[in-house]
Amino acid sequence: MRPDTPIPGANLLADTRHYAWHRPPDIADYDQAVDFMIKKIDDPYETQMVMAMLQIDAQISTIVSTLLLQSVSVGKFGIDLALLTAGPLARYIEIMAKNANTPYEMGIRDKDEIVITPTLLKQALGIVDPDDEPEMPEEETPALEQPTGGLMTMPDEAVAPQDEQMAMLGGVEEEEELEPEDELS
């Protein structure tokens, strides 16, 4: 009985020249890549697909990454050029959605955006219940001392005393050096 698994090492003998991403891309110019993608979206079938995705609340960033991944997989342009064309393509889809009065979401959150929670909203409106406030510990925790020196400097309190270091190295303490007696006289 023969197992249904690949033969070990078969991938080393496979002909990979026919994969699209192993050949030079068809488009290597930024302007040509943007024009290609816009013409692709302007195709009636693709426009219908993009608008249908927007209507099921797909984010524009998801639509753009899907379209670009398709183009990269067939060898139209490389991954780096796909990343560069993502911005203009997202803006174009946003304009299409606005013109069609279709609600959309870009799918990109601002890092500095404040997430509004019920507690934050109550604080902003001045409606703070004493029960909602988290209890703070009575004791203050002492602040940690910042280490001085360089990044790799060992803190002073981490250095073991000499006798402890010797015990860690095998428990052999250094014997006092005996003064050599007078040389043979």
pLDDT confidence bin for 142, thresholds 50/70/90: low
On whether the CB atoms of residues 1 and 52 are closer than 8 A, the answer is no
For the chain, the farthest-separated pair of C-alpha atoms sits apart, in whole angstroms, at 112
Percent of the chain, pLDDT > 90? 38
Distance between CA atoms of residues 100 and 103, nearest Å: 9
3-state helix, strand, coil in the chain (%, to 5): 45, 0, 55
Question: Which residue bears the tokens 């030079």?
Answer: 24
SS3 12: helix
Distance between CA atoms of residues 5 and 68, nearest Å: 32
pTM (two decimals) = 0.52
SS3 164: helix
Handedness of CA 76, 81, 83, 86 (dihedral sign): negative
pLDDT value of position 9? 82
- pLDDT by residue (tens digit) across 86-114? 999 999 999 999 999 999 888 876 566 67
- pLDDT by residue (tens digit) across 36-47? 999 999 999 999
pLDDT value of position 35? 96
Question: Side chain identity at 134, as an amino acid letter?
Answer: P
